[in-house]
């Protein structure tokens, strides 16, 4: 079952790369009391994700904050080491919280998984974005396969 507007984001443990290595992040704590722009990509370092999706949110972080977003987070079915390396490669500098969903548990709980086996990538996340207020989904934008439009930072700015 896919998450819907008005649903509470499921409780899950994600990972982020800290100064001393991977650190657990609980979704309940991450989203509590904040308005979050969350977006998901099929894979770190993949073409659209690296050229447009992540840079769009990085470059528009100030504009999103001006419209009420407290934090921006990116999630991918990758490990924390990959997400940390991707953040460094993309000069994220803390503008986006890079969340690793290594086993895809969070993605499956959202009902937004996809099978990318034909690309040699196994189980991955669909490309989407959502606005979360205090742990509740207020907007959900899921892309049709192969597209990049409704999950962009620009589209989200128009929603706010």
Active-site positions read: 49
Q: Are the beta carbons of 126 and 112 closer than 8 angstroms? A: yes
The distance of Cα 84 from the centroid of its chain, to the nearest Å, equals: 14
SS3 49: helix
Q: Which residues are CB-neighbours of 156 under 8 A, at least 6 positions away?
A: 37, 64, 129, 131, 139, 141
d(CA 110, CA 135): 13
d(CA 19, CA 37): 24
Quote the tokens at residue 137: 């989904």
């Amino acid at each position: 079952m896919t998450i819907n507007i008005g649903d509470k984001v499921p409780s899950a443990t994600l990972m982020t790369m800290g100064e001393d290595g991977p650190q657990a992040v609980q979704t309940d704590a991450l989203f509590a009391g904040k308005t979050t722009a969350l977006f998901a990509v099929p894979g770190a370092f993949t073409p659209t994700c690296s050229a447009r999706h992540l840079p769009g949110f990085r470059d528009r972080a100030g504009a999103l904050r001006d419209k009420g977003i407290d934090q921006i987070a990116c999630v991918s079915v990758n490990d924390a080491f990959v997400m940390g390396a991707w953040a460094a490669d993309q000069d994220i500098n803390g503008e986006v919280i890079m969340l690793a969903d290594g086993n895809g548990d969070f993605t499956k709980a959202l009902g937004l998984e996809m099978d990318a086996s034909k690309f040699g990538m196994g189980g991955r996340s669909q490309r989407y974005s959502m606005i979360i207020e205090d742990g509740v989904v207020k907007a959900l934008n899921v892309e049709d396969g192969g597209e990049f439009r409704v999950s962009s930072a620009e589209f989200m700015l128009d929603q706010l």
